[in-house]
Amino acid sequence: MERRSLGNAGLGVSAVGLGCSGMTGDYGVPDDVESTATIHRAIDLGVTFFDTSDAYGDGRNEQLIAGAIAGRRDGLVLATKFGNIRGPNGERGGVNGRPEHVAKACEASLRRLGVDVIDLFYQHRVDPDVPIEETVGAMARLVEQGKVRFLGLCEAGPGTIRKAHATHAISALQMEYSLWSRDVEDRILPLLRELGIGLVPYSPLGRGFLTGVFRRRDDLIPTDRRHAHPRFQEGNFEANLALLGALDRIARERRLAPAQVALAWVLSRGPDIVPIPGTKRRPWLEQNVAASAVRLDDVDLAALEEAFPPGAASGPRYPEAQLRRLGI
- Cα–Cα distance, 160 to 133 (Å, whole number): 9
pLDDT at 323: 83
318 is catalytic: no
- pLDDT at position 25 is 73
CA distance 1 to 48: 9
- The pLDDT of residue 327 is 67
Query: Residues of the chain whose pLDDT is less than 70?
Result: 89-91, 327
Q: Which CATH class is domain 3-208+269-293?
A: alpha beta
Q: What is the pLDDT of residue 223?
A: 86
pLDDT at position 229 is 93
Residue-range domain boundaries for the chain: 3-208+269-293
Among candidate residues 56, 122, 177, 202, the one labeled active-site is 56
What pLDDT score was predicted for residue 79? 98
Please calculate the CA angle 310-187-80 and round it to the nearest 5 degrees: 95
d(CA 148, CA 162) in angstroms, rounded, equals 21
User: What pLDDT does residue 32 have?
Assistant: 96
Task: Quote the CA–CA distance of 274 and 293 in Å, as a whole number.
Answer: 14
Q: Are 211 and 229 within 8 A, CB to CB?
A: no
| Inter-CA distances, 160 with 6, 139, 146, 156, Å | 19, 15, 25, 6
Helix (H, G, I), strand (E, B) or coil at 240: helix
DSSP run (H or E) holding 63 = helix 60-69
Strands of 38-147 (E only): list them.
49-51, 77-82, 84-85, 94-95, 118-123
pLDDT per position as a tens digit, 147-158: 999 999 999 999
Distance between CA 327 and CA 183 in Å, rounded? 13
**Vertex 41 angle, CA 40 and 47, to 5°:** 90
The per-residue pLDDT for 45 is: 98
pLDDT the model gives residue 86: 76
Q: What pLDDT score was predicted for residue 90?
A: 65
